[in-house]
Amino acid sequence: MRRLATALTFLLVLLPGNANQTDLNPADNLFKAGKFAEAEKAYAQIAARDPANLASQLQLGRIALLANHLDQAQLLLKKVLALQPGNADAKIMLAEVFYRHDNFAEAANAMTGLRPSDHEKLANVSTLNRAKLESFKGLVPYEIHGPGDITRLKFVKRDPLPLVKVRINGGKEVLFFIDTGGAELALDTAFAKELGIPQFGAVQGTFSGGQHAAVQNGRVDSVAVGDWVVRNVPVQELALRQLSQAFGIQALDGCIGTIFLSHFLSTIDFRNGELVLRRKSERQNLNPGSKQTDVPFWMAGDHFIVGWGKVNTLPPALLFVDTGVAGAGAKLAPSVLHQAGIKLDEKASFRGPGRRRFFHHGALCGAAALLRQYPGNQRHGRLRRGLSLGALAGLLSCGERGPRLCCAVLGDLRFLPHAHDFQPKSVGLW
């Protein structure tokens, strides 16, 4: 799926403003360092002194969207468009706000006036396909039907990634893997053709190993998951059956990604071997009697989950949470491996799915951990010694140049004692 390279691109967009506005520099530097709370305060001070300052208002909207504070983001981005009606960044981010609210009609309207030259800015929000969004007229996206407040999907297999059974448009049971590195529900291209899924246009997707491929946008009438049926679901289509052999199955027909999971209180429970979906309700401890740790995260682009963490004794940095990294608990930039004093056995390398996708095995002498709170108060989600890991091996330049964001990918999270739950703004570890 699209990986850290595109997530990093989203975070490192060219910051608006001009060179003469030197008071923006400290705020910009905080943003580049991933210190979004401090950056927000700095931009807010500038905006308070000069409400017409376009750059500060745009960045405040961007940070609110990263934090999934959607109502606040909507207000701020509309301020930007009042100052500059044609601002493409504000239009795209406002469309993403409406998209996350499942208000597809308003998301499509927000994209009105975008020029062909603006389409490159949609690279990290490929789900914002205007024709697809408009096709939902009169429909309620992600409409859940079924009994009770919870449903469970048992893993068919755990390795290399969890597989579960689903039904698309009332058809036969098919196998999908779970991958938070994925965005919307994804269907194999051939499988989508067999079902006659409507298509609304392709975009260029970026994947691990620097590969690029066309990703088609579509819509399905229903997705059966456990005891529930979810109606009117946006999907993307790409070649997934080519991974069937790696999964040891006859046909891999799709992927459950972060956007689909975000419509529930979702638990990927490795110990019990199941995906648990709960209807959204008031915040609750999903695991009574256990010590649950909430780890705040930011949502970059349309689905990239990043949170503060540490590798051994290195300073805190942003980590990308991607459960689709098979065979490794973490993937680290070569510079991070060097700084942490981690030695990998290159003789134990193996090729993963895709070209140039090599992994080198080793073990952390300490741990890679998500931080429960901001680095100033470093309480860890979980520490685990002897964590299996792989090197990024140059596949993703996340830490080799530019600001040090997303220096690692937390992947196969079976190194956690139990499971992880996805809330709108946090990951629960227990």
14 vs 151 pLDDT, higher one: 151
The token duo for 121 is 């800015």
Residue 99 pLDDT more than 80? yes
The C-alpha atoms of residue 370 and residue 349 are separated, in whole angstroms, by 26
Q: How confident is the model at residue 62 (pLDDT cuts 50, 70, 90)?
A: very high
Query: Cα–Cα distance between 262 and 248 in angstroms, integer?
Result: 28
SS3 call for 101:
coil
Terminal alpha carbon distance of the chain: 26
Report whether pLDDT(428) > 90. no
Q: Is the pLDDT of residue 222 over 80?
A: yes
> From residue 152, how far is each of 161, 226, 340 by CA, in Å?
17, 6, 40
DSSP 308-361: EEEETTSPPEEEEE-TT-TT-SEEE-HHHHHHHT---EEEEEEE-SSTT-EEEE
Higher model confidence: residue 272 or residue 137? Answer: 137
Which pLDDT belongs to residue 332? 74
* Mean pLDDT of the region 346-350: 63
Helix, strand, or coil (residue 220): strand
339: tokens are 């700084």
Average pLDDT over residues 135-163: 94
pLDDT recorded at residue 300:
80
- Residue 420: exposure state from Cβ atoms within 10 A (0-12, 13-18, ≥19): buried
Cβ-count burial of 358 within 10 angstroms (0-12 exposed, 13-18 middle, 19+ buried)? Answer: middle
pLDDT digits (tens, 9 = 90+) for 353-411: 543 344 444 444 334 444 444 444 333 333 333 333 343 332 222 222 222 334 445 54
Q: What is the pLDDT of residues 228-282, one digit of tens each?
A: 999 999 999 999 999 999 899 999 999 999 899 999 988 888 888 999 999 987 4
**251, amino acid identity:** A
| Interval 127-156 mean pLDDT | 96
- State the average pLDDT over residues 116-131: 86
Q: Which residue has the higher pLDDT, 227 or 202?
A: 227
What pLDDT is stored for residue 350 in this prediction? Answer: 57
pLDDT band at 195 (very low <50, low <70, confident <90, very high): very high
Look at residues 337, 336, 342 and name the one whose alpha carbon lies nearest to residue 386: 342
Mean pLDDT of the chain: 77
Residue 177: the pLDDT is: 95
Calpha distance 301→124 (Å, rounded): 5
Which sign, positive or negative, has the C-alpha torsion 208, 210, 211, 215?
positive
Can you give the pLDDT at residue 404? 34
Predicted pLDDT at 329: 67
Q: Checking DSSP bridges between strand 143-145 and strand 388-391, what pairing results, if any?
A: unpaired
Question: Distance between CA atoms of 227 and 77, rounded to whole angstroms?
Answer: 39
Report the range of poorest mean pLDDT among 117-126, 196-205, 338-347.
Answer: 338-347
Q: What integer pLDDT is reported at residue 372 of this predicted model?
A: 42
d(C-alpha 38, C-alpha 25), whole Å: 13
Output the CATH code of domain 4-125.
1.25.40.10
293-429 has the same fold as 143-278? yes
pLDDT for 40: 95
Dihedral Cα 36, 41, 47, 49, nearest 10 deg: -150
Structurally, at CATH architecture level, domain 293-429 sits in Beta Barrel (2.40)
Backbone angles phi, psi at 56, to 5 degrees: -70, -40
Quick check: 83 pLDDT over 60? Answer: yes
Q: What is the per-residue pLDDT for 280?
A: 84
| Fold category of 143-278 in CATH | Cathepsin D, subunit A; domain 1 (2.40.70)
Distances (CA, A) of 374 to 34, 298, 307: 11, 12, 9
- Rounded to 5 degrees, φ, ψ at 170 are 75, 10
Domain coordinates of the chain in residue numbers? 4-125, 143-278, 293-429
Look up residue 252 and give its two tokens: 């891999």
How far, in Å, CA of 292 to CA of 422, rounded? 12
Between residues 142 and 321, the one the model is more confident about: 142
Tell me the range of 1-15, 170-184, 211-225, 289-303 where mean pLDDT is highest. Answer: 170-184
**More confident site: 209 or 92:** 92
Residue 75 CB burial class (10 angstroms; 0-12, 13-18, ≥19): middle
Relative orientation angle of helices 88-100 and 54-66, to the nearest 10 degrees: 20
